Amino acid sequence: MNQKQKKNSIPDSSTGLYGIIGHPVAHSLSPVMHNSAFKATGLNNVYLAFDVTDLEDAVKGIRALGIKGVSVTVPHKESVMKFLDEIDPVAKKIGAVNTIINRNGRLLGTNTDWIGAVKALEEGAGRLDTKKVLVLGAGGSARAVVAGLTERGARVLIANRTLEKAKDLAEQFDARWYSFDELPDVEANIVVNTTSVGMEPNQDTSLIPAELLPKYPIVMDIVYSPLKTKLLKEAEAAGCKTITGLRMLLFQAVAQFELWTGMQAPAEVMERALYKTLKKSNE
């Protein structure tokens, strides 16, 4: 019986181990997506969530246990880089790693967040090289989104509470920067919130006043809990097309699966598992 044929078997010594490290991590939807993908493709793999506070020892554990692939979430995306053997150029430019690939004990760090963001935006907005995109925030997620937009040839504008951070990010990617006070004068085809504003328990908050939203035909929020943030609700009410954070989450996971396995990801299976889990949690 080969690895693929052991589709329904109990995990054993030949089972490939994958996982996600973060703190906290119990809320993560990555195990649902990746385990459904492993099952659908018949791979004898399992994906677990690890709540990690001692990052250096956790990375040693990845090597020692032969964990084949790891997703990295907050607060470790930046700090994990110093413990890895190699960082690919895109992740290095972004300054954050969300994916680790274990190649016979040598750990490679890469980033699929930018892929997830670009795929979600292209799905909802079409080609990005003709678009002007306003990115809210200047943190790690913003860096990934801006990198992806730049890769696709979009014109990028960055707004942030701390103007110096917006300026630093903008200068790295040849973008323009603004304070939130300047938003009434900023025009764009798309706006993307990359901050945690709107996430539970602060779901009654939005960075953009509702009266400004009609200026932005397409609005995306990378926050996915709640699925419809205040920003997205008000954008819908203003007649904007909206893109939820679940699309980015799905597409970055699809890219991870393909990097780890070399196989085409069963994206529809992963999507069904994702939405089924969310539906149950909201019942």
Mean pLDDT of the region 152-166: 96
158 and 95 within one domain: no
Same-domain status, 125 and 213: yes
Q: Is residue 170 part of a domain?
A: yes
Widest CA span in the chain: 64
Distances in whole angstroms, Cα of residue 150 to Cα of each of 59, 81, 90, 133: 31, 23, 12, 10
134 and 94 in a common domain: no
pLDDT-derived band at 36, boundaries 50, 70, 90: very high
Which residues form the catalytic set?
77
pLDDT (tens digit per residue) in 203-258: 899 999 999 999 999 999 999 888 899 999 999 999 999 999 999 999 999 999 99
Residue 7 has pLDDT above 80, yes or no: no
Residue for token digits 């025009």? 187
Domain identity same for 107 and 119: no
pLDDT of residue 283: 58
- Residue 159 is assigned to a structural domain of this protein: yes
Q: Beta strand pairing status for 16-22 and 45-51?
A: parallel
Contact 95, 80 (CB under 8 A): no
Q: pLDDT digit string (tens) for 177-210?
A: 999 999 999 999 999 999 999 987 778 999 999 9
pLDDT above 90 (res 12): no
Residues 139 and 239 placed together within one structural domain of the fold:
yes
Tokens representing 63? 């090597």
CATH number at residue 29: 3.40.50.10860
Q: What does the pLDDT read at residue 179?
A: 95
pLDDT tens track for 111-133: 999 999 999 999 999 999 999 99
Q: Do 37 and 265 contact (CB within 8 A), yes or no?
A: yes
Do 231 and 176 share a domain, yes or no?
Answer: yes
Supply the range of the domain harboring residue 79.
Answer: 16-111+249-281
DSSP 8-state symbol, 18: E
What residues pair up with 108 in beta bridges, in sequence order? 86, 101
Confirm whether 10 is domain-assigned. no
| Residue 250, strand partner residues | none
Mean pLDDT of the chain: 94
What is the number of structural domains in the chain? 2
Question: Nearest 5°: phi and psi at 134?
Answer: -95, 120
Q: The sheet that has 106-110: what strands, in order across it?
A: 45-51, 16-22, 69-72, 99-103, 106-110, 86-87
Same domain, 106 and 124: no
Query: With 90 as the cut, is the pLDDT of residue 281 above it?
Result: no
Q: Which amino acid is at 77?
A: K
pLDDT digits (tens, 9 = 90+) for 47-64: 999 999 999 999 999 999
Q: What is the pLDDT of residue 200?
A: 78
How many CB atoms are located within 10 Å of the residue 229 CB?
28
Does residue 6 form part of some domain? no
